[in-house]
Structure 1
Amino acid sequence: MRLENSVVVITGASSGIGRATALHLAGKGARLVLAARGEKALRALAKECRKRGGTAIPITTDVTDPEAMEALASRAVEEFGQLDGWVNNAAVSVFGRLTEVPLEDFRRVLDVNINGYVHGARAALPHMQAQGSGVLINVASIVGEISQPYTAAYSMSKAAVRALGVSLRSELRLDGITGVKVCTILPAAIDTPFFQHAANYTGRRVVAMPPVYTAARVARTIADVLKKPRREAVVGPAGRYLVLKHRIFPGLVEHVMAVQVDRTHLSRKHDAQDSPGNLYQPSNRIRAASVRGGWHGARRTAKRRAFAALAAAAVVVALKNRMR
């Protein structure tokens, strides 16, 4: 697919990965339909996309509403005459022990992160199948491969997103449809406001677990996959390393992941109030409509490299001990 003049729908476009992807594609001359819950943030993003050379239409919507998703796809086709790409990206999370997270919050994460993607796929695929081409991209996470403690709902949802991609690819193959592709993106920890937005019932502040990569890196990967689709793409060297090692030494990697989440994904102090975050309403935080979350920079880059080296060393030591 040529990005110039391509028509791409992006859900969860108002901040983080969605916003970075919109800005990157706009710079390539794409025609964008931007979807999220926050109207003000979307309008500002659409204006910025136009400045970068793209065409952008902001649409305030909720991915948990299947009729709204069908209307979103129809609007893209009515406005531009085609639908070349659809990026399922809207996601929320809740931190806390399984037994302590309110059930309604747990269910909300599954509804947004799983049903939201299902609704997006059901809305986009009929248009793509009718025109004989198109790329559906589902943004998952490496926690879809290696689940974390304190984020059971989010980890479950991202594993489900990977399974959704496999099922859809299989159905298209059985139907003999070769022009429509379904791809899954698995980012490692990304510098976005996502962690500040998350619901939290741990009593500890949620912070980005190093190593942390830029949202621009994910945006470039999404653009590459739109141009040349592939089944799955892991974003971030540390993510690729963990996925590879998990498939060889699952128990060991899961242990290392659990320890590192407890040590580096939550603050050491119990200094946070319980909060539903942005599960039910768009966030009003200062960085709510930003690409970045403030987790990346020169000092943090140095820390992430040091952490990656230490993590790799820990795995090597553990492997040696196991082999004795």
Structure 2
Amino acid sequence: MPAPRLKPVSEQVIVITGATSGIGLATAREAAERGAAVVIAARNEEALNALAEEIRGKGGRAEPVVADVADMAQVEAISEAAIRVFGGFDSWCNNAGVAIFGEMEDVPLEDQRRLFDVNYWGVVHGTLVAARHLKGKGGAIVNTGSVLSDRAMALQGPYSAAKFALKGVTEAFRTEFEAEDYPISVTLVKPGPIDTPYMEHARNLMGTVGTRNPPPSYHPRVVARAILYACETRVRDLVVGGGGLMVSVMGRLAPKLTDLIMSKIAKPVQSSDQPGRAERRDNLYDAREDLAETSSLSGPPPRRTSFLLEAQMNPLGPAGLLIGAAALLGGAAFGMYTLRRPKPVPERLAERAWRIGRGVTRDAGHGIGTLGHEASRIAHRALGYAERAEREARPYAKTARKRAERFADRASRYAASAYDDARERGSDLYEGARDRGRSLYRDLRGRGEDAYEDARDEGWHLFKRARAEGRDTYEDARDRGWSLFGRARDRGEDLYGRARKRGAEAYDDARDEGWHLFKRARAEGRDAYDDARDTGWSLFGRARHEVDKRARHAAHEGEGLLDRVNAFLKSRL
């Protein structure tokens, strides 16, 4: 597979779905701040237009597209808008998602299907559309998954299942693109708990006041950094947050224990007595309030850095720092050992050091993604350096110890002299600053007292003036009000008298008309009753005659049948 040609973010056109809230909003803003042109897609048209205006107002380039990723035609419209406005795109970020909290038995099937339409099929739609454009020019597809694709979370069953499916389809797309030699980088970003409006947007079927993320949570800007890193760097997976990774590892190493822990803590750690903003509640089928990166729920502030993510994005940074620190500590321990015991290192110490180094190498080899491979290579090199340093350090150990002792003595004398000079200089500076501060304080206090008296006199003058003007205005308004009240009362009484007279006349007319109609209806009802009674009695007589006739006929038939049965029985006996 040819290496994907990934541009720096500042030179890219990036498509972001779910761009009006949480991770998508943070990614859109950060991409625009770094110079990228963004095509932002979501269901909330008002929020989309506001975000586009915000980005343009800061000198950025943005094109809003109203779309529901569950609909393939609307996803294709996103691609068409990017091509029409910017001539194409370089990266496509499938980020849109919805959530449901509740037990599997309590979540209606139609709600589960809707969640899969967005969280799974939305990614499939986006990846298919993006691949058509990128397989010729190269680019990146970044899917926002979850650590719940490694270990399902109780009370988020449908969401976890969709993320499992998302992880599988991402791996399938990546493998097939490699087989077809498409120059496309496919990355799965797996965040742990992130402080976004996710909890407020989710449909809550747990019977609790509100929902929340299990701690610790991270700021969505941390995930945005991971997504933009994947847009310009070919990487397979990125995990955000050590807490989520720990749950994934526990699920693999101790699945039964993890099941037990989940069953006990799932509801307490995901329940909240804070309902959140009502305007954001439940966006499963319809868009709700957006344009917030973080939730409105109170609690500990979200973490703004993830050491795990930094280690994956900069394997030579944190990994090198850790291995360097380990080598430094190992060298110091070796130096102390040789200072105490100038004899050659015993064979058993060498064997033990080799076993430890081999274990470190083996553990590093099982690292995460590129970090594991890089750490393994660095570990082998560090072991070589340590062995070489051990061999070369022995002749210089005694000389280094003597030089260190002389240097320590000189440093001690210099530090004592410098401390005395600094203390005397600091005392002089302190006294000068204290005198200067007192002088400034007295000057400012005098000015403040003068300003206070001037302001007090001016305020009292304005108050008296306003009080006088207010009294005049009050009396005018009172007189005017009483005049209008009298006119309104007179007019109301006149209208009331006229209305009462008309009402009495209308009542008399209606009563007379009603009485006339009642008498007429009563007479017509009596005639109809007599006709119906006569007709009924006539029909009753005819029916009774017919019944008697048929009864006699049936009795006759029954007697004949009985005679035939008796005759048949006698013939048989």
- Bin for the TM-score computed over the shorter chain: 0.7 to 0.9
- Note the C-alpha offset of 1:262: 1.6
Equivalent residue letter for 1:72: I
1:139 aligns with 2:144: yes
Which residue in 1 is equivalent to 2:236? 231
1:96 aligns with 2:98: no
Cα offsets for 1:99-136 (capped at 9, x unmatched) = 111221111101111111111111111100022x1101
Aligned residue pair count = 294
Counterpart selection for 2:171 from 166, 171, 179: 166
1:161–1:52 Cα change, 3 Å: farther
Which residue in 2 is equivalent to 1:32? 38
Structure 2 residue runs of 5 or longer lacking an equivalent are 1-6, 304-573
State the secondary structure of the residue aligned to 1:137: strand
1:83 aligns with 2:89: yes
User: What CA distance in whole angstroms lies between the structure 2 residues aligned with 1:276 and 1:26?
Assistant: 28
1:162–1:22 Cα change, 3 Å: same
Which residue in 2 is equivalent to 1:15? 21
1:181 aligns with 2:185: yes
- Note the C-alpha offset of 1:71: 1.6
Equivalent residue letter for 1:244: V
Counterpart selection for 1:290 from 283, 289, 292: 292
Cα offsets for 1:37-73 (capped at 9, x unmatched) = 0011111111222244431011111101101111211
Counterpart selection for 2:65 from 36, 47, 59: 59
Larger Rg: 2
User: What CA distance in whole angstroms lies between the structure 2 residues aligned with 1:164 and 1:190?
Assistant: 23
Which residue in 2 is equivalent to 1:201? 205
Q: How does 1:102-141 map to 2 (within 5 A)?
A: 102-131=108-137, 133-141=138-146
- Note the C-alpha offset of 1:279: 0.8
State the secondary structure of the residue aligned to 2:14: strand
Structure 1 residue runs of 5 or longer lacking an equivalent are 303-324
- Note the C-alpha offset of 1:295: 4.7
1:120–1:279 Cα change, 3 Å: same
User: What CA distance in whole angstroms lies between the structure 1 residues aligned with 2:200 and 2:147?
Assistant: 19
Counterpart selection for 2:8 from 2, 11, 25: 2
Identity across the alignment (%): 35
Off by >6 Å, runs of 4+ in structure 1: none
User: What CA distance in whole angstroms lies between the structure 2 residues aligned with 1:34 and 1:167?
Assistant: 26
Which residue in 2 is equivalent to 1:210? 215
Which residue in 2 is equivalent to 1:307? none
Equivalent residue letter for 1:185: V
TM-score, with structure 2 as normaliser: 0.49
Which residue in 1 is equivalent to 2:516? none
User: What CA distance in whole angstroms lies between the structure 1 residues aligned with 2:288 and 2:50?
Assistant: 16
Asked if 1 retains the 8 angstrom alpha-carbon contact of 2:274 and 2:297, the reply is: no
Cα offsets for 1:186-241 (capped at 9, x unmatched) = 11111111100111111112112211110010001111111112111111121233
User: What CA distance in whole angstroms lies between the structure 2 residues aligned with 1:201 and 1:53?
Assistant: 43
- Note the C-alpha offset of 1:20: 0.3
Structure with bigger helix share is 2
User: What CA distance in whole angstroms lies between the structure 2 residues aligned with 1:127 and 1:242?
Assistant: 37
State the secondary structure of the residue aligned to 2:120: helix
Which residue in 2 is equivalent to 1:244? 249
Which fold has the larger relative contact order, with Cα–Cα distance below 8 Å and residues 6 or more apart in sequence? 1
Which residue in 2 is equivalent to 1:312? none
State the secondary structure of the residue aligned to 1:242: helix
Equivalent residue letter for 2:226: T
- Note the C-alpha offset of 1:181: 0.9
Which residue in 2 is equivalent to 1:191? 195
Asked if 2 retains the 8 angstrom alpha-carbon contact of 1:137 and 1:185, the reply is: yes
1:296–1:212 Cα change, 3 Å: farther
Q: How does 1:41-52 map to 2 (within 5 A)?
A: 41-52=47-58
1:255–1:86 Cα change, 3 Å: farther
- Note the C-alpha offset of 1:269: 10
- Note the C-alpha offset of 1:301: 5.4
User: What CA distance in whole angstroms lies between the structure 1 residues aligned with 2:286 and 2:82?
Assistant: 25
Structure with bigger strand share is 1
User: What CA distance in whole angstroms lies between the structure 1 residues aligned with 2:67 and 2:198?
Assistant: 19
Asked if 2 retains the 8 angstrom alpha-carbon contact of 1:14 and 1:41, the reply is: yes
RMSD of the alignment, in Å? 2.3
State the secondary structure of the residue aligned to 1:213: coil
User: What CA distance in whole angstroms lies between the structure 2 residues aligned with 1:301 and 1:260?
Assistant: 21
User: What CA distance in whole angstroms lies between the structure 2 residues aligned with 1:230 and 1:255?
Assistant: 34
